[in-house]
Amino acid sequence: MKNKALLFVLQLFGWFPLCVGRLLGRAIGRLIYLLELGPVLVSRINLRLCYPQLSAQEIECLCKKRMLQLGQAFVETPRVWSKPSTWLESKIVAVEGLEFFQAAMDDKRGTILIVPHQGNWEVVGLWVSPRSKMTSLYEPPKIPEVGNWIKSSREQSGATLVPTDGRGVAALIKALKRGETTAILPDQQPDESGGIFSPFMGVQARTMTLLTNLIGRSDCQALFCSAIREPGGWRLHFLPAAEGLYSEDKTVAVNALNKGVENVVALAPEQYQWEYKRFRAQPDGSDFYAKGL
């Protein structure tokens, strides 16, 4: 019953016009901030770690702005899943770096879109899918009803979804070799065997090596991208990857990956997913979140 109730609420949000959904989302974000729920506590810690030059007041201001953005993302995303691609097209207010995207699409090599958890990352894949054949990894959420809805939305836009296991990675490599496009979320902590430590915003973070492995095995290209929330819709940004990302030295490549993510974060720091425990694994075993939470 709880799963069905959640699905009902999300589908209800999908009926709200974007402006109404965002207004409700900001109200939810204010409530999260006032109640000092988990996302607030984690965000404060991450912001202090990543922006040591900011005052306590500046950190608190950025934390509050983040909660307003978090609430908007929660309410607006069901709208994105519910609407056809023509609706999404009408909500793209601008595309920055379009020349980089077009050059990648004209190239016969496959393309990895590196999409950090910023703004509304669902928008990127749904905008790209009608423009390029996409094969992407997909790990269903724990609630099957919601997972089926998300999967249907992504597939209706033209994407092919493959599981996040060995078979899925193999399918991804084949797709990239065929010149297709995929999207990777680069800033989730992998397990110990799937990543190495690299500085992110000056703090050590275990960072995935999957992306560099895919590049090495498929001879593909990569672009950083983000869908930044703006009045009336989203502004897409495409940024070229540094040469270091293509290095055979995994340390060099992963450092370049994190630096690229930092460049995307700088576009709109309040829209980045600071509530995620990005630094919970540390080389010395320390835990930044134990005392703060």
Strand partners, 229: 234
Strand order in the sheet with 221-230: 92-96, 233-240, 221-230, 111-114, 181-184, 134-138, 159-163
What is the crossing angle of helices 121-128 and 56-82, to 10°? 40
DSSP state of 192: G
Query: Along the 293 residues of the chain, how does pLDDT read in single tens digits?
Result: 677 787 888 889 999 999 999 999 999 999 999 999 999 999 999 999 999 999 999 999 999 999 999 999 999 999 999 998 899 999 999 999 999 999 999 999 999 999 999 999 999 999 999 999 999 888 877 777 777 777 777 777 778 888 888 888 999 999 999 999 999 999 999 999 999 999 999 999 999 999 999 999 999 999 999 999 999 999 999 999 999 999 999 999 999 999 999 999 999 999 999 999 999 999 999 999 986 54
Strand partners, 134: 159, 181
Q: Which two tokens stand for residue 29?
A: 């974000």
Antiparallel, parallel or unpaired: β 195-200 and 221-230: unpaired
SS3 at position 166: helix
